[in-house]
Structure 1
Amino acid sequence: MAEFTVEEVAAKIQHTNVNPDVTRDEIKKLCEDCMEYGFDGVMLQPCWIKDAKKYLAGSKVKVCTALGYPMGGSTARSKASEMAEVIELGADEVDFMPNIGFLKSGMYDEFEKEVAQIVKAAKGKITKVMLEFGMLTQEEKVKAAELSIRAGVTYLKNSSGWGKGGKATVEDVQLLKEVANNEALVKASGGIRDFDSAVAILNAGASLLGTSAGVKIVSGSGEVLSDY
């Protein structure tokens, strides 16, 4: 297993606060923490993109957002429209919810077409599909990953980190890495709360970590901002 320094782990973290009641001051602090600790990116709701761009001006921290979140039941057209808007607002990367109900219903063509439509609307920006492994059987996990790769996503993500989406596990990350077969990267999220867990997930094959405990992971102390 590879060893990671604190700085190397920090550079893999997308520090997250997507709480519905997050305030502007909390978003500012989130961005300041990203710059202070050298995190890869900040993950926030679309309404805060412009603020984040201002707070992070001149830094290398990426502005990342989530759409179709957390339910994923909006129409493909509305998700694609939202994708176009967040790109226009300045998002560097976008994590999005596919329609898990389509997948569970065996509506594989509909699932793949929706993902492809959303990816197309990103106009080349990095996209990450949140596959909510906590709701899927082992067979469905593989199918979801295969369909998403065919649809052109940049990253496969095990979970949104919320609700029934599930927590990041070494086994699930290894599965995604294997199915991706170098055609997509892997982002892990859900329940990553300490340095050792972060290193284990990275060694399993994740290229990025989504967590609201970024400061705690790299410093050993600090607030966990949400269940994410």
Structure 2
Amino acid sequence: MDYPILNSQTITYEQLAKTIDHSLLRPELTRAEVIQGCELAARYHVASVCVKPCHVRLAWEVLKGSDVAVGTVVGFPHGSSTTAIKVAEALQALEDGATELDMVINIGELRSGNDDFVRQDIQAVVTAAKGHIVKVILENAYLSKEQIVRGCQLAEQAGAHFVKTSTGFAPSGATVEDVRLMRASVGPRVQVKAAGGIRTLEAILEIIDAGATRVGATATAAILDAFRARQNSVQ
């Protein structure tokens, strides 16, 4: 296992901050708002920002020299791009400065039982990423439990580093039940990222206890400020 096991009782502020991918994916965000979001991420020393592909270079410029990685999305939000387009998106993102890629699985092909296609689609992006982190978004809102398990297994077979619950743009986001199922469906080298609707300290700690080691969040400041306040109250 290449990552620490975290739990709500022993997690430190620094560890909690490094579970967060600060999400800057809303379609209406301006360049100024992206810059502000990146600056917030740097102040709170989170794991990464996750920006739209058009903002990768901007985020890289703001965050260079910081301890915050630049991530972006591939095939977002529906996963329906052809494999060639997903690969092109991945290559462009890396050229622009991204080091983490959150790609959306082809949801319809997974639901159709076309496992070879799904595995090869993921593998093509993993290969293009050349060792950089690839997180595979399943979009659990549209999947049965069996399909979630199968999607996790295909992502692992394809060499992905993470399986992820949601884009944040489907009818529902991360649930504790789904995170536990995903954690149980992959081996120890694959991590679980939860995203969608995680807006409070209590919610993120519950998700971490379920097995997530990364969390996509927009309420980053509120979550980490609440943790700091709780720490201060017991000292």
- Say yes or no: TM over 0.5: yes
Is the 2:139–2:170 Cα contact (8 Å) retained in structure 1? no
Please tell me whether residue 189 in structure 1 is matched to residue 190 in structure 2.
no
Equivalent position SS for 1:163: coil
Question: Does 2:130 match 1:130?
Answer: no
Q: What is the TM-score with the length of structure 2 in the denominator? A: 0.90
Residue 178 of structure 1 corresponds to which residue in structure 2? 184
CA deviation profile, 1:62-113 (whole Å, cap 9, x unmatched) = 0010111011111011111111111111101000111100011111111111
Say what the alpha-carbon RMSD is for the aligned residues. Answer: 1.4
For residues 118-172 of structure 1, give each alpha carbon's deviation from its aligned partner in whole angstroms, at most 9, with x where no partner exists.
11111111000000111001111111111111011010001112123x3211111
Structure 1 stretches (4+) deviating beyond 3 angstroms? none
Q: CA deviation at 1:8?
A: 2.7
The answer on whether the counterparts of 2:193 and 2:216 sit within 8 Å (CA) in structure 1 is: yes
Deviations 1:22-48 (A, max 9, x none): 111101110111111121111100111
Post-superposition shift, 1:216?
Answer: 1.6
Does residue 96 in structure 1 map to residue 96 in structure 2?
no
The question of whether the paired residues in 1 share the 8 Å contact of 2:8 and 2:206 is answered with: no
Residue identity (%): 37
TM-score normalised by the chain length of structure 1 = 0.92
Cα distance in 2 for partners of 1:75, 1:211 equals: 28
Among 75, 83, 104, the residue aligned to 1:76:
83
Contact persistence 2:23–2:50 (CA under 8 A): yes
* Deviation, structure 1 residue 12: 0.9
1:154 maps to amino acid: H
Count of aligned pairs between the two proteins = 220
- For 1:71 and 1:160, the matched residues in 2 are separated by 9
* Amino acid in structure 2 at the alignment position of 1:202: I
Cα separation, 2, equivalents of 1:57 and 1:105 = 42
- Alignment gaps of 5+ in structure 1: 221-228
Structure 2: state its 5+ residue gaps.
1-6, 227-235
